[in-house]
Copies of this chain bind each other. A is one copy, B any other.
Amino acid sequence: MNSATPGRARPQRADAKRNYEALLAAGKSVFAQSGTQAPLEEVARRAGVGQGTLYRQFPTREHLFAAIMSESIDLLDRTARELLTAPDPWDALVQWLRLYDESAARYRGMTRVVAEGIADDSSPVAVACTPMRASFGDLFDRARAAGLVRPDLTALQLFTMISALPKDPERGTTVPPYLDVVLKGIKP
C-alpha cells in the first residue's frame, strides 16, 4: 500500500469503495488500451458509474494516473531499497533505471505524465512518487558518492531525463540507444 495515495485512509461507504476499485480497474484498462489521452468519459462508462463519481474520486486525470501507478511505484520503491545493499553501486543504479523503464511501458504516455508532473510538488503524481523518489535518491547518491556519476547532476534531474526519453511505439520502452546514451553520459 502506498500511503501517499490520497483519500484512501479514512473510511468510505461500501459503494464508494466499490466504485473506487471499479474506476481504478477501468482506468488501467482504458489507459493500457488507448493511452493516457483517452477520454475520461470512457473510464466512467467502463466502470459503470456516472461521470460525477469519477470526478469525486479523482478530481483530475493526474489523480487517476497517480492511483494507477501506485502499485508500480511501491515495487520500484522496494526494489530501490533492496538494491541499496547490492555490491556494485553503478550496476544497482542501472538495474533500477531499466526496471523503471520497463514498468513505465505498461501504460502508453505514462512517463511523459511523470516527467511533466514530477517537478511540481503539489501534483498528485509527485506526491505518489515521493517515497520512491527518496529511495531512488539514496541509490543515486550512493553511486555519486562513489565517484561513478558526474557531481553536477541530481537524482531528480536524472529521473526526469529518463522519463522524458522517446518511447518505442510498439514496445513502450525507450529505444535501446537512448538509455545507453544517457547511462554513458552521466558518468563523471
**A157 touching B185 in the complex, CB below 8 Å, given contacts A115-B166, A166-B164:** no
Partner of A181, one of B115, B153, B175, B177: B153
Q: Is the interface of A mostly helix, strand, loop or mixed?
A: helix
Are A178 and B161 interface neighbours, CB within 8 A?
Answer: yes
Is the CB of A56 closer than 8 A to any CB of chain B? no
- Chain A: interface size category: 20 to 34
Partner of A184, one of B160, B165, B166, B184: B184
Q: Which of A104-155 contact B (CB under 8 A)?
A: 115, 150, 152-153
**A177 touching B164 in the complex, CB below 8 Å, given contacts A182-B185, A184-B187:** no
Interface set of A (CB-CB < 8 Å, partner B): 115, 150, 152-153, 157, 160-161, 164-166, 175, 177-178, 180-187
Shortest beta-carbon contacts, A-B, top 3: A185-B185, A181-B185, A184-B185
